[in-house]
Structure 1
Amino acid sequence: MSSSLTACSKVEEETTYPNKFTNTELEYKSGLSDILSIAKAYFTTERANPTPTFELPVHTITAEQLVTEKEDAIFRLGHSSVAMKLDNQLILTDPVFSDRASPVQWAGPKRFHKTPITLNELPNIDTIVISHDHYDHLDKASVKVLAEKTGLFLTPLKVGQLLIKWGVPQEKVVELDWWQSHTHNGIEYTLTPTQHFSGRGLTDRDATLWGSWVINAQENKVFFSGDSGYFGGFKEIGERYGPFDFTMIETGAYNSLWSDIHMFPEESIQAHIDLKGKVLMPIHNSTFDLSMHDWNEPLQQAMELSQQKNVTMVSPEIGQRMSLSEPLPVNVWWKN
C-alpha cells in the first residue's frame, strides 16, 4: 500500500500523509546520469516521423452533442484526455487542453492537433478523474477553467491539494489511496495501483500519489490506466474488478531508458489481457512528442499485436464518437 490511510476523505488541512509514496514492486530512481543518457538519446536518435507530416483528422465536438448523448459513449480528446458519457453523466480523464505539456507555454512538447472542443465550449461536467501530477496529465490552466463547471474532482492522495491551491473549491475534491472507492451520482470510482512516479519540479519527487481508475457504471465497467510500467498489479486489478467492458491503456512515450515506468505496446496488450478487458483503446499517444519512437508507431504496433493476440482494439479518430455497445472497427488513420 502507498500509505497507512484506509478511508477516502475530502481534502482537509489536518490530514496526515506520508512524505514520499512508493511502488509495490520496485523503487524507481533516476539521477543525473539517467537525465544525461536520455538527453543524449534525444539528440542522437534518428527518426523518420517524429511528428505528423499531414493534418490529423479531428472531429469537432459540440456541447449540445455531449449533453444530449444518451448512450454510454466515448470521445477521445487527445493523449490521455477522454470524455465519456456513462449513465448519462459526463466524465473526463486527465484533461489537458493547453498547447504544450509543459510548465511553460513557450517551450516543451507541443500538441500535434487542435482539441475537438475548447475548454470554454465544454458543458458542465459531472466528474473529472486525475491519474497523477505530471504535466501531460495534470494541466493547471485547464483545471482553473474547469473548476467552476465540474461537480467533483477525484484524485490520488495529495494531488487534490494542488487543485485547491489553483482555485478548485475544497468541497469539490476527493482524494483516494490505492484500493479506495468513492461513489458519485451512482457511479463507483476506485483508485488502483500503477508502477510510476510523480513530481512537477525539482524538489517534489514522489510527494503525491499516482494511480489508475476503475469506473463502475450501471451498464459498463471501464478501466483508465494513467501511466504505468508493466507489473503484477494489472492481474490483481483484473482479479478484483474484472472483467472490463472497455480499457484505456497507456501505449506511447515508451523507451528502454525508462521501461520500468512506461509500457511498450506488447506490454500494454498484456495488461489489457491481465485486466480481463473486452475492448481496448490505446491512449497516451498521437498528441505530444514525448519519446524517441515515431509518433505513429504506438498505434501501428498495438494494432498488429492485438490482431496476433485476438484482442479487440479500437482506434477512433480524435473527437470521433464511439458507442460502447458498438465498438468501431480499427481505422488506420495514422497512415493518412
Structure 2
Amino acid sequence: MKRIILITTLLFFGGAMLTMTTTSAELDNQSSESRHHNAKGGFVNTAADFSDDTAIMPLLMRYVTEKRVDATPEQQPPLVELTTEQLHSLPRDRDLVIRLGHSSIFMQLDGKRWLIDPVFSERASPFSFIGPKRFHPTPIALDSLPRIDGVIISHDHYDHLDEKTIKYLAASTSHFIVPLGVDKHLLKWGVSADKIQALDWWQSFSLGNTMITATPTQHFSGRGLFDKNDTLWASYVIESNRNKLYFSGDSGYFDGFREIGERFGPFTLTMMETGAYDKDWPTIHMTPEQSIQAHIDLKGRHMMPIHNGTFDLAFHSWYEPLERIVELANSADVSIVTPVMGQALDIDDKIQLATTNTLWWRTSTQTRLALAL
C-alpha cells in the first residue's frame, strides 16, 4: 500500500518535474534580466548550461524497489506549541522569525506580521487522502493565527502553496506577494486582485518600512501534469529597518546566489533550502554542501536550514539533511541556526543567533550517524 501511495504521489505531485525537459541555451541572446521568459510565454532557468531531462520510469522503479532507511520519524519531532496570545505578545519593536515546519515561516518585521510559504494542511498533495503527510502538526493552528499583514509565496508546488491555507487567509490578509503567474491560483481561490502583487525577478514591493524583492532561483513550477513552468519561481530578499533576510524558496545551486549576494548582501539570516535533494534531480535542489556554498555566496552571517523535518519528499533519511548541514557548517565555520519548530528566533539578538543550534531531530528517532558526510 505504501508503495502505491508513493507512486501515485510521484505521478501527481511530481508529474511536472518528471516530464520536464528544459534547456536555457536558446536564451543566450536575451538580457540577463529577462532570460527566464521563453518565447512560448512560460518560464525557464537562466543558467546557459542548465538542462534537466528526468525520466519517469527509472524514478518509478526506485520508488518500488529501493530500500528506505528512516524515511519518517519514529515519534513526533519536538515543537513549541503556540497560542494567539503568545504571538500577540511578541515585542513589536523586534524582528522575529518562527519556523512552522518545512519551508513555512512566521515573521514579525517592523511591527508587521508575515507568513512565507504557509502550508497548514495535513498533506503536501492535491489530495487529502494520499501524498506526503506531516511528521508533526503546525505549532499553531490556522484558525489561531493573529491577523497576518502579508503572505509571501515562492512557487506553486504543493509543499509551498497550500490551497486550504490561502482560502482561509484570503479575507483577512491584506497583501499576497507571489511570482508572476502564481496570482492565477490565488484569484481562483478567492483572493481579491487588489491584494496580490505578482513580481518578476528583481521587482520589489514595500509594506511600511519592509521591502520584499523577488530574486532568481533555479527550479521549476506546476501543480499537475499539464501546467509545466506556466508560473515563475522565486527566492526573496526581505529588508526591514534593521535587518536583511534571504529566503531561498527551492533551488538548485547556480551563480545567481553570488549575484544576489553582490547586489543585496550581507544578510543577517539566510533561510536556505536543505533537503529533498537526490542524484536524479541535481539541478533543482541543493545538496547540503551546495546549501552551505550558496549561503557563503550570499554573504550570509547566520543560516537556518529549511525544507526539511516535516514531509518525506526524497529518498534520503528524514534527518539526514540536518545532520549533514550541521557537520558541514562546523567544518566551514558557518553559524548554523536550528530552532525547534515553533521557537521564536530574535533576529536582533546576536547571541541567540549564534547559539540556537539545538539538535532536536535526534530526540525523535534512533538517529544513525554513519552517514556519507
Q: Which category describes the TM-score, using the shorter chain as reference length?
A: over 0.9
| Alpha-carbon separation, structure 1, partners of 2:185 and 2:224 | 13
Look up the match of 2:46.
Answer: 24
| Alpha-carbon separation, structure 2, partners of 1:197 and 1:141 | 22
Q: Is the 8 A contact 2:278 2:314 kept in 1?
A: yes
| Alpha-carbon separation, structure 2, partners of 1:28 and 1:152 | 35
Look up the match of 2:361.
Answer: 334
Look up the match of 1:134.
Answer: 157
Residue 88 of structure 1: which of 85, 107, 111 is its match?
111
Q: Deviations over 1:89-122 (max 9, x none)?
A: 1111100000000001110000000111111111
Q: Is the 8 A contact 2:98 2:345 kept in 1?
A: yes
Q: CA deviation at 1:19?
A: 2.0
Within 5 A, what are the aligned runs for 1:94-173? 94-173=117-196
TM-score, normalized by length of structure 2?
A: 0.84
Within 5 A, what are the aligned runs for 1:1-336? 1=32, 3=34, 19-25=41-47, 26-30=49-53, 34-70=55-91, 71-324=94-347, 325=349, 326-327=352-353, 328-336=355-363
| Alpha-carbon separation, structure 1, partners of 2:172 and 2:132 | 27
Q: CA deviation at 1:262?
A: 0.2
Q: Is the 8 A contact 2:222 2:230 kept in 1?
A: yes
Q: Deviations over 1:209-249 (max 9, x none)?
A: 00100000001110000000000000000000000000000
TM-score, normalized by length of structure 1?
A: 0.93
- How many residue pairs end up in the alignment? 324
Q: Deviations over 1:61-102 (max 9, x none)?
A: 112222221221111100000101111111111000000000
Q: CA deviation at 1:55?
A: 2.1
SS in 2 for 1:278: strand
Structure 2: which amino acid aligns with 1:20?
G
Structure 1: which amino acid aligns with 2:174?
G
Look up the match of 2:371.
Answer: none
Once the two structures are aligned, what percentage of the paired residues are identical?
51
Structure 2: which amino acid aligns with 1:222?
L
Q: Deviations over 1:183-209 (max 9, x none)?
A: 112211100000000001111100000
What's the Cα RMSD here?
A: 1.7
SS in 1 for 2:212: strand
| Alpha-carbon separation, structure 2, partners of 1:254 and 1:222 | 23
Q: CA deviation at 1:27?
A: 4.5
Q: Structure 1 stretch 40-49 or stretch 170-179: which is displaced more? A: 40-49
Structure 1: which amino acid aligns with 2:236?
W
Q: Is the 8 A contact 1:189 1:213 kept in 2?
A: yes
CA pair 255-5 structure 1, distance change in 2 beyond 3 A: closer
CA pair 273-319 structure 1, distance change in 2 beyond 3 A: same
| Alpha-carbon separation, structure 2, partners of 1:4 and 1:263 | 22
SS in 1 for 2:142: coil
Gaps of 5+ in 1: 7-16
